[in-house]
Amino acid sequence: MALQYGAYIAMAAIGLYAIFAGEMISILNYMLEPAVEPTLEDDFLKPRVYDAPSKILQFISIGVAPGLVMSGTSYMIARKFGSKQIGWLIIIGGLVLLIGMFYSYTMLDDIEKDYQIFTVTITPPLFMAVSIPIMIVGSLLFRIKKRPKKYF
């Protein structure tokens, strides 16, 4: 079965959501370990996390913002003729984002209080809330009856 362009775009959105979840989990995992003063005996010197908000905003602009645009684009492509396949792909993208942000949210309690700033604490719940409308938009494609394509 050949896939439509919207299906490929929705698959790319799923990948971008997964990348964003992985980036958030990795930076929060990095922030879990306390920074120590470097000594000469250390094999690996871990720098302190100074600029987590700018990294998180960079991750948003690299991962989830283009993913939202791609989910919207695949919905706009599929809404005229209806496609359950694209609807499922959009819903799966929302689930990937929801599960990744839920796991990130569980990591927030273990981070030192000095690192719990507004951007770090608001990002997982914010994108957990954003994932719900994504899944709703994907489910809207189930209501549209499939129509034959008219070329002229």
- Over the stretch 67-107, which tens digit does the pLDDT of each residue have? 999 999 999 988 887 788 999 999 999 999 999 999 999 99
Contact between 123 and 55 under an 8 Å Cβ cutoff? The reply is no
Please state the φ and ψ torsions of residue 141, each to the nearest 5 degrees. -70, -20
> Average pLDDT over the chain, rounded to whole?
87
Sorting pLDDT into bands at 50, 70 and 90, what band is 46? low
Distance, CA of 28 to chain centre: 15
Q: Where are the domains of the chain?
A: 5-33+50-140
DSSP helix/strand/coil, 114: helix
Q: What's the CA gap between 87 and 79, in Å, rounded?
A: 9
Predicted structure pTM score: 0.85
End-to-end alpha carbon distance in the chain: 25
